[in-house]
Amino acid sequence: MLIHESEFCQSNAVVVQGGTGALLIDAGVHEGEMACLVSDLSDLGNTVVAGFSTHPHWDHLLWHVGLGTVPRYGTARCAATVRDRLSGGIDARRFGIPEDVSLDLLGLLTGLPTDTVRIPWDGPGIRIIEHQAHAPGHAALLIEERGVLVAGDMLSDVLIPMLDLNGTGDPIEDYLAALRLLEDVAGDVSVVVPGHGSVGGADQLRARIDQDRAYVHALRDGLDPSDPRIGPSAKPGWEWVSDVHAGQLQRLHLRSESDGTPD
């Protein structure tokens, strides 16, 4: 298994070796970085036989022409969301997409039938843990024989839980439910790879589940989260995460006002 960390928000692309080639999870962001991945794989005599996107956000939906035309999977709900959201194109500036990023192959996903347990490919068993935190049809992946959990945009040491505040569900409860699913498999995990941030071991996995849950609880209860990822203790370059927190606080407040729920 190989991991490539991008300059863009410490995005992690994960390569899993299979019998006839590799599976590439969340391929990467910058054109040059993906080109580098293509050449590294070819130096190793390796080809990509399939891709997987953990969730329907642009930075997890990119692809490089050199990676070839192979099935690129996501959950059914992820693929449907991508189709919906990209039907009118994408405004690169609004999403802050760097100029060198090629959007030609953005989001060309094949949705796996609902309740698919493992990714269909010739390689180690990869269990799909679908949930509704962060984005519709988000999947964490458990590479079972290796004890590796690819968490998508959760369990990061630099990014707080970012709730899906666009949906009709209960973003707080959806997030907590997803953390419970990840906690259920924690005993089988020795390495956690977040979508953005540092790779961690089993202790980190437990610590990050607790940290993410404490943050969501604080958000729900209107308390100061005292989370190291926001405020003066944020990692240099990640100061903007405090703005994400302020925005979530405000939008949740507005949602509860329009619900008529007192807070």
**∠18-20-25 over CA atoms, to 5°?**
45
Q: Is the distance from CB of 138 to CB of 55 less than 8 angstroms? A: yes
Q: Which stretch binds Zn ion (CB under 5 A): 53-61, 66-74, 109-117, 199-207?
A: 53-61
| Shorter beta-carbon distance to Zn ion: residue 33 or 153 | 153
Query: Which positions ≥6 away from 21 have C-beta within 8 Å?
Result: 46, 47, 48, 49, 50
| Shorter beta-carbon distance to Zn ion: residue 81 or 211 | 81
Query: In degrees rounded to 5, what are phi and psi of residue 203?
Result: -65, -45
Question: Within positions 56 to 95, which residues make up the interface with Zn ion, using CB under 5 A?
Answer: 57
| Shorter beta-carbon distance to Zn ion: residue 41 or 163 | 163
Q: How far is the CB of 1 from Zn ion (least distance, A)?
A: 22
Residue nearest to Zn ion (CB): 57
| Shorter beta-carbon distance to Zn ion: residue 57 or 208 | 57
Query: Which positions ≥6 away from 168 have C-beta within 8 Å?
Result: none
Strands 48-52 and 72-75: parallel
| Shorter beta-carbon distance to Zn ion: residue 41 or 135 | 135
131 binds Zn ion (CB under 5 A): no
Q: Which stretch binds Zn ion (CB under 5 A): 4-12, 49-57, 81-89, 119-127?
A: 49-57
Amino acid at 250: Q
How many chain residues interact with Zn ion (CB under 5 A)? 2
How many residues would you count in the chain?
Answer: 263
Q: Which residues bind Zn ion (CB under 5 A)?
A: 57, 153
